[in-house]
Structure 1
Amino acid sequence: MEYIKLIARMPADASPEQTEETARYFDNCGADELYYYDAQSFEEGKEEDIKIMQAICRSADIPLNVCAKVKRFEDVKKMIYAGAKRVFIKTESEDNLDAVKEASDRFGADRIYLYLEMGNSPDMESCLLRSRKAVEEEGFGGIVLAGDFMDSSYVQAADFLKVKLDVPVFIMAETVDAVVTADLLKMSMASGVVLGCPEKVSDFMEIKQYLKTQKLPVNTFETAIAFEDFKLNSDGMIPVITQDYKTGEVLMLAYMTKESFEKTIATGKMTYYSRSRQELWTKGDTSGHYQYVKSLTLDCDNDTILAKVAQIGAACHTGSRTCFFKELVRKEYDDRNPLAVFEDVFATILDRKEHPKEGSYTNYLFDKGIDKILKKVGEEATEIVIASKNPDAEELKYEICDFLYHMMVLMADRGVTWKDITDELAQRH
């Protein structure tokens, strides 16, 4: 089924930290995608926007759309490499059409959309001509319409273009109201709608549940196995093991009834049944430490659920990250995660950058600047080549570690993270 995408508009004047927090919030509360546009910075060509895009993509698992006035292919490439799924391009003149065509050929037309601003009474014929030329000749793979979203001619234009051109058409809407959004989408055949979200006030799962009652195709959680097919305990409940969706850390064990399971599916927030209080409880309603559902999996016997969640704050009522912290017995073993080791070393390098320490070799490199860092990376790469000719691999191990350390200093200096690297490798794989 083709779902209507609900796209949350990111604030353009927030700090990088606020931007990351907002991106995580919209991801957790059910938005399908994100939208970012900072007109002033794009027009001035500031690099800060690229850093903000990277921060958004680091913080959220859902796709990012970026709106921009581009002049060169390099502008589009930077946004795609920063993590943007699509670039919405304004073409007020034709001086950037070569860049558009090159970007379309390089990355695919489905990632390059025409951003078309419409007046209060759009001329349907001229709108069609401009859009048809964009799709058939200039390399655009979709259309984004901006205008008076409740004007019937604006909605008709969206339908007209989607039917005539057979490409996705997104519309801009200055609202987060579920009823208004439903009215707009019932009038339209839009593939997606960008909802204005100036503050963190929008629970997209609530909006989707209302749109679902209006027979609109939206992407919500749907269980593949009915609760009636679960094997319940003697109290009519099923145990749920909850773990962090990224680290795999086991956070807690609780129980669900049919009602709490259905509320979890509807809201996207973990809701359990308290056996001591004899009532439903949504984790986080009191503490703010919500658990946002990433996946629910039933075991082979249908009698236990494994929930993978994005945990906000602490899972345990004691304030501990996990409820499982009372060690009973332990045998020494190596449980080091390779990526965790990289992240720990990288975190130390970043800390040295932010809080210089006298006598630190890392700070010496940062103080000397990029040329010194690059020189050391080159030298260590050469040392790897030389060590590789030695039959004994021990020396090679040491040289690789030296190279990786200096490479991480370079990453920290240039603002590249391990997540950026692993995401790129995963995409290539």
Structure 2
Amino acid sequence: MSYKKLIPCIFIADGKAVKWFSDRGILSEDVVGLAKYYSDHGADELIIFDLSESDDEHDRNINLIKRINRAIRIPMIVGGNMKRQEDIKKVLYAGAKRAMLNFSRPESVKLIEDAAKRFGKEKLAVSLNDFDALFKHQHLIQAYCSEIVFMHRLDLNSIMNVTDVPCVIVTDTEEEPELFKILKCPGVKGLSGKYISRQNIDLADFKEKCTAEDIQMTSFESMMEFSQFKTNDQGLIPVIVQHYKTQEVLMLAYMNEESFNCTIKTGKMTYFSRSRQKLWIKGETSGHYQYVKSLTIDCDLDTLLAKVDQIGAACHTGNPTCFFQPLVGTDYDETNPLQVFESVYNTIKDRKENPKEGSYTNYLFDKGIDKILKKVGEEATEVVIAAKNPNPEEVKYELADFLYHAMVLMVEKGIMWEDIVKELADR
């Protein structure tokens, strides 16, 4: 049996979430907040429909989608108002896992082959309103996209006889038996629509109902049972928590069987508090959730390693990590590029906050943004000139100069390396 996903959909018009593509009544004024609610309450993915009718509104919605991407921790599929390859690129660069082409529009049919060759078929989905469109374009869909989003209740068994491309069903039905029937169809990977997209829905509750119907919902699945772990006398196992991108060790906590199973089920790190003798979801009161990326166990089966996406600070003191008090030596790693960049960045930031006489960095800050931009431009030109010469050492020196001046600009504009890394990762 394949795993199924619950995928709320958001229809955006005039910067607001509306109830349906054919009903422009306001569902929520706060689109980003609505998306974050879905992300925090059991959604596995999110479908966003851009209902804009002009290029200006389309660009405003793209910026809104970028903000949504920064606020959620689940993948996005984005469709609507895509007439050119450039529109597909904008959606993907805004953070969408896939761009969705509406095959009821002839221009989308013409776009898909070139788009697949440019961006990869795994970056494309197709939305369909009727079975005839699937039958007519099945060769294109099979060859150039990795997902079908059906905007209609159809004969699902017939669909599966035509294509093996995974399908998401967007339905206006709110009858649970009908929803269970859709999810039980072998070719359906996910369910979306009015019921799944209600404003205050707790999708974890609906997943439990699906499980009771013998529908296997998407979740992490442990390769071992908790009973196989070597726990202490209280039935607890220590968990080392590490940031999945930076590899920084964030904290140490403990799990019992219930908190382990809760972590697996929800995707949020859940621990057992030894002092309070109760379960606690990390971030439940602070908002600093930890979203599971992976769980592994050591060779003795007595310690877990959790790699997580940490929201905010891991430590209750407000520090990014609980391990911030130096005792012996230093943990600075001069071979770690991000640590080196952050060290230089922090030095530049300190110069801005605590000026030092004779400092070139302070000279740049004192002269202001125009001088900083002039130097960034000059150093970029030096990189180009050095690259035309045969000695690669020149490129190394000029790139280092350019990166330094770029970091001065970053500090001036309040941009951190974390922002840059996230932007690159999203792309």
Query: 1:11·1:19 contact (CA, 8 Å) conserved in 2?
Result: no
Shift of 1:164: 2.6
Query: Which residue does the alignment assign to 2:6?
Result: 6
1:114 corresponds to which residue? 126
Q: Aligned to 1:47, what secondary structure does the other structure show?
A: helix
User: TM-score of the superposition, structure 1-length normalised?
Assistant: 0.72
Matches of residues 234-383 of structure 1 in structure 2 within 5 Å? 234-327=233-326, 329-332=327-330, 334-335=332-333, 337-342=336-341, 363-364=369-370, 376=378, 378-383=380-385
Over the matched positions of the two proteins, sequence identity in percent amounts to 38
TM-score, scaled to structure 2: 0.72
Q: Distance in 2 between matches of 1:322 and 1:224?
A: 29
The answer on whether the counterparts of 2:249 and 2:323 sit within 8 Å (CA) in structure 1 is yes
Q: 1:302 offset after TM fit, Å?
A: 0.7
Residue 420 of structure 1 deviates from its aligned partner by 3.7
* Higher alpha-carbon deviation: 54-63 or 164-173: 54-63
**Equivalent residue number for residue 135 of structure 1:** 138
User: Could you tell me how far 1:93 is from its partner in structure 2?
Assistant: 4.6
Tell me if 1:419 matches 2:422: yes
Does the C-alpha gap of structure 1 residues 422 and 254 become closer, same or farther in structure 2, counting only changes over 3 Å?
closer
Query: Which ranges of structure 1 fall in alignment gaps of 5 or more residues?
Result: 118-126, 148-153, 425-429
CA distance in structure 2 between the partners assigned to 1:418 and 1:282 by the alignment: 27
Aligned 1:19-418 pairs, distance under 5 A: 26-27=38-39, 29-40=41-52, 44=56, 46-57=58-69, 62-109=74-121, 111-117=123-129, 127-136=130-139, 141=145, 142-147=147-152, 154-156=153-155, 158-173=156-171, 181-182=179-180, 184-186=182-184, 189-195=187-193, 201-327=200-326, 329-332=327-330, 334-335=332-333, 337-342=336-341, 363-364=369-370, 376=378, 378-385=380-387, 389=391, 393=393, 397-405=396-404, 417-418=420-421
Q: SS of 2:188's equivalent?
A: coil
- Conserved 8 A contact 1:114-1:134: no
Contact 1:114 1:143 in 2 (8 A): yes
Distance 1:92 1:323, change over 3 A: closer
- 1:401 positional shift: 1.7
Secondary structure of 1:302's partner?
coil
Query: Per the alignment, in what secondary structure is the counterpart of residue 84 of structure 1?
Result: coil
In 2, Cα distance between equivalents of 1:203 and 1:22: 13
> Partners in 1 of 2:247 and 2:175 — Cα distance?
36
| Contact map agreement 2:171 2:192 (CA 8 A) in 1 | yes
Q: How many aligned residue pairs are there?
A: 390
Structure 1 residues 250 and 193 mapped into 2: Cα distance closer, same or farther (>3 Å)?
A: same
Q: Is the 8 A contact 1:131 1:143 kept in 2?
A: no
Contact 2:260 2:271 in 1 (8 A): yes
